[in-house]
Amino acid sequence: MGVRLIEEGDKVYLDGKTFDHKTLISQAGGQWDADRKMWYFGADQMDVAREVARAIPDPVHPEAQVIGHAVYKEKTYPVLWAGETKTGREALKLAFANGSDSFWVDADKAEFKALESPIPWEEYRDMVRPCFGPKIFGATRDPHADLRDRLIVVPFLRPEDTSILAALKTPTSTSEDWQAWRGRLYALYLTQFAAMRDVARSLAQEQGNNNARRGELLRPMVAIMRFCRVDEDIIEEVCDRVEQRIDEIRPSITRLDEQVLMIVWEILHEQGGGYVEIPISSIRRRCAENEDLKIASYENVVWEILKRNGAYLKSKRRAGEIVIMTNERCVHRALERLGCDLEEISPSREQDSLAPRQIAIPLARRACTY
């Protein structure tokens, strides 16, 4: 419980942080004591007071210690206390990961595993907070993320190869267990979050605010290698090799995305620009007309391309299919991120239809678009 009950005469006071829950207390029949600055119920409302006290969250104290983890009702919670209560029962005090509430359960109803040494709550919260998690830790079939994983994992987990980079073979879908390696990186991130965050922040300050594709690929990799104390000469050599690989792989990875986004761009201009609703089926039909784009004639492929490039503002389902809402600025920004130069593209709004040959326009590339 987030508050405790104090019985005084014919009143039962609620002692604790009740400000955020005054509506709940008032609706349950509680009264405000202006002198004591506390809410109270009548002695004959003890049951109601107990129910209200149970309903008020018990936030984790900043100085609390995490002593382990417990699986309770198929969910994992940090454990703040384990042992025998005053009533003689074995119990665990569990908490939500964000610290908003804690609660007690019988020890025999949860599977408890103790840590080797307790972790201060503030440090634990830093370890599990997801907001700083680099994109490289996601297990996904997205080609961009897969490219990121492969470029980062090879030099990090195969340090014996970094000294002879020429011997690094081109990875294939069967040559390495990429999913297991991603899992090891993710575990490192969770257990050493604060230290890795500091390294990443210092690296970001050193390189400036580079959020483009090249920085997105290289910064997390360099941060991990520095954290693991890899020699700076090797890091520099690895970065050179990675940049070479980026230049070799990127066209085959992004060309399909560029063509699909160009279809969306043309549809936008056909409909007069502004905010436009486009059914995924209309994009699929145009992809199916082109032999090179037939893989994108499936709804899930088009949807993944639009999502990973941020080429829409909203989405909804209408009559069983996905409909996106987008505008010219949104699609233009997505094409720019892929390295397309739109200055030479002048879509005609008077065209009745767009055949594949009309959208396969050569896309000029900039010298450095990452």
Per-residue model confidence (pLDDT) at position 310 = 84
Does residue 218 fall inside a structural domain? yes
96 and 166 both lie in a single domain:
no
Task: Report pLDDT for 278.
Answer: 92
pLDDT at residue 370 in the model: 32
Q: Which among 235-244, 270-279, 343-352 has the top mean pLDDT?
A: 270-279
Taking 70 as the threshold, does the pLDDT of residue 170 lie above it? no
Q: Confidence band (pLDDT; 50, 70, 90) for 341?
A: low
Same domain, 314 and 275: yes
pLDDT, mean over the chain:
71
Dihedral, CA atoms, 121, 123, 127, 133, nearest 10 degrees? Answer: 120
Q: Does residue 153 belong to any structural domain of this protein? A: yes
Q: Give percent of the chain above pLDDT 70.
A: 59
Domain count, the chain: 4
Q: Starting at the edge strand that comes first in sequence, how are the strands of the sheet with 11-16 ordered?
A: 3-8, 11-16, 38-42, 31-33
Tokens at 11, concatenated: 């009143």
The Cα–Cα gap between 68 and 116 comes to 8
Pair 263, 344 in one domain? yes
Our CA dihedral for 328, 330, 332, 333, rounded to 10 degrees, sits at 160
Flag whether 9 is in a domain.
Answer: yes
User: Is residue 42 over pLDDT 60?
Assistant: yes
Residues forming beta bridges with residue 316, ordered by sequence position: 323
Tell me the pLDDT band of 161, cut-offs 50, 70 and 90. Answer: very low
Using an 8 Å Cβ cutoff, are 294 and 288 in contact? yes
Q: Are residues 224 and 321 in the same domain?
A: no
User: How do residues 185-212 score in pLDDT, each as one tens digit?
Assistant: 656 656 666 666 666 666 666 655 444 5
What strands, in cross-sheet order, belong to the sheet with 75-84? Answer: 102-106, 90-95, 75-84, 65-72, 111-120
Does 145 lie in the same domain as 106?
Answer: no
Residue 32 — pLDDT band, cuts 50, 70, 90? very high
123-137, 214-228, 276-290, 339-353: which has the highest mean pLDDT? Answer: 276-290
Q: Are residue 105 and residue 199 in the same domain, yes or no?
A: no
pLDDT at 350: 39
In a domain, 127, yes or no: no
Residue 221 shares a structural domain with residue 256: no
pLDDT-derived band at 126, boundaries 50, 70, 90: low
Residues 220 and 167 in one domain: yes
In this structure, are 223 and 275 located in the same domain? Answer: no
pLDDT at 361: 34
DSSP one-letter string for 193-250 = HHHHHHHHHHHHHHH-S--SHHHHHHHHHHHHHHHTT--HHHHHHHHHHHHHHHHHHH
Task: Give domain status of residue 186, yes or no.
Answer: yes
pTM of the entire predicted model: 0.36
Domain that holds residue 45: 3-55
48 and 90 inside one domain: no
Would you state the pLDDT for residue 145?
A: 52
CATH number of domain containing 95: 2.30.30
323 lies in some domain: yes
Return the higher-pLDDT residue of 360 and 309.
309
User: Is residue 141 domain-shared with residue 93, that is, in the same domain?
Assistant: no
Co-location of 165 and 189 in the same domain: yes
pLDDT on residue 352: 37
Q: State the Cα–Cα distance between residues 208 and 342, nearest whole angstrom.
A: 27
Q: Is 193 exposed, middle or buried (0-12, 13-18, 19+ CB in 10 A)?
A: buried
Higher pLDDT, 147 or 256: 256
Would the pLDDT of 144 be above 60?
no
In a domain, 338, yes or no: yes
> Does residue 281 belong to any structural domain of this protein?
yes
The more confident residue out of 179 and 197 is: 197
What is the average pLDDT across 303-314?
A: 84
Cα 224 to Cα 83, 200, 216, 238, 240: the distances in Å are: 39, 8, 13, 13, 16
